[in-house]
Amino acid sequence: MARFRFYGMLLLLMAAVGVWAQADIPPEQPERPIYTALRTDVAPVVREGRTFVPLRAIAEQFNAQVTWLPATRQVSIVRPNAPNIRLTVGEPTALVGDQQVALDVAPFIRDGRTLVPLRFIAETYQVPVSYNPTTRSVRLTRENRIYVLPLESLRAGIYIYDPQPGELVRNPVRVQGQANVFEGALTVEVQDDRGRVLGRTIATAGMGGFYPFSVPIYYNLPSEDPVRGKIVVYSQNGRGDGRILARDEVDVVLASTI
């Protein structure tokens, strides 16, 4: 009888541990938009607090067609299922459909390219746009992409945005963020809670601005059960002495493949 009571208590204890373990599992890393660099042949310019970009470069991201009208120094932007936009170089107004709209700052020409206010174009086409002051970069969110337009920055650094702290990640885990580092070279590692490297790969961001990086990384998990670990991204100085110039990390819970 005592033996049966012992096994009964053991089963109850195991069940309780299992319930605690299930309750302790953190939220899983969701599928997030892919970070993608928005590159232009002429550097973006900040004028009177507004970010200006080459029109053709940004129009391609919106699937729009641009026509230059030299006689009137105007640009016409046509996009399917959206109002036409007409801008005049040097004039702080725009024609959206048949409505005249005031601009904070007029479009202008630099290095043979017409630069236009990015936020105005994006909001007219109902594309979410935001500015990150930490990385001095503009973000456009469209479908399953986050387009990142870095502005010039002399400050080095690395920022991990995905996965987020405490999330449950599975093999392979996609690591995303922004970095401004020497030659744009990054090392991405998955480590356990003791700092042992379970997986490593290389990523590329940029130099001179906080460019985005997005890379999947595989890791060898020593157990089938989830374990605590971290994602580490760092950059070295390129002299071969191993000195780390910039680094960021995020604590996660590591799990095996789905």
Q: What is the pLDDT of residues 208-242, one digit of tens each?
A: 999 999 999 999 988 888 999 999 999 987 666 66
Looking at the structure, do residues 146 and 160 belong to the same domain, yes or no? Answer: no
Q: Which of 132, 150, 168 is the last residue of a domain?
A: 150
What is the C-alpha end-to-end distance of the chain, expressed in Å?
Answer: 43
According to the per-residue pLDDT averaged within each range, which of 34-43, 149-158, 236-245 is highest? 149-158
Tell whether 71 and 87 lie within a shared domain: yes
- Give me the CATH number covering residue 143: 3.30.457.10
- Classify strands 244-254 and 168-169 as parallel, antiparallel or unpaired: parallel
Pair 165, 109 in one domain: no
Read off the pLDDT of each residue in 39-45 and give the average, rounded to a whole number.
84
pLDDT at 57: 78
**DSSP state at residue 224:** S
Q: Is 90 found in the same domain as 135? A: yes
For the chain, the domain total comes to 2
Give the C-alpha separation, 53 to 75, whole Å: 14
- At 120-148, the pLDDT tens digits run 988 888 888 889 999 999 998 888 889 99
Note down the domain range covering 55. Answer: 36-150
pTM, two decimal places: 0.81
> What CATH number is given to the structural domain containing 172?
2.60.40.2550
CA 198/CA 196 separation, integer angstroms:
6
Residue 4: inside a domain = no
From 150, 176, 200, give the residue that closes a domain. 150
Residues 241, 172, single domain; the answer is yes
Residue 22 lies in a domain: no
- Same structural domain for residues 119 and 201? no
Same domain, 146 and 166: no
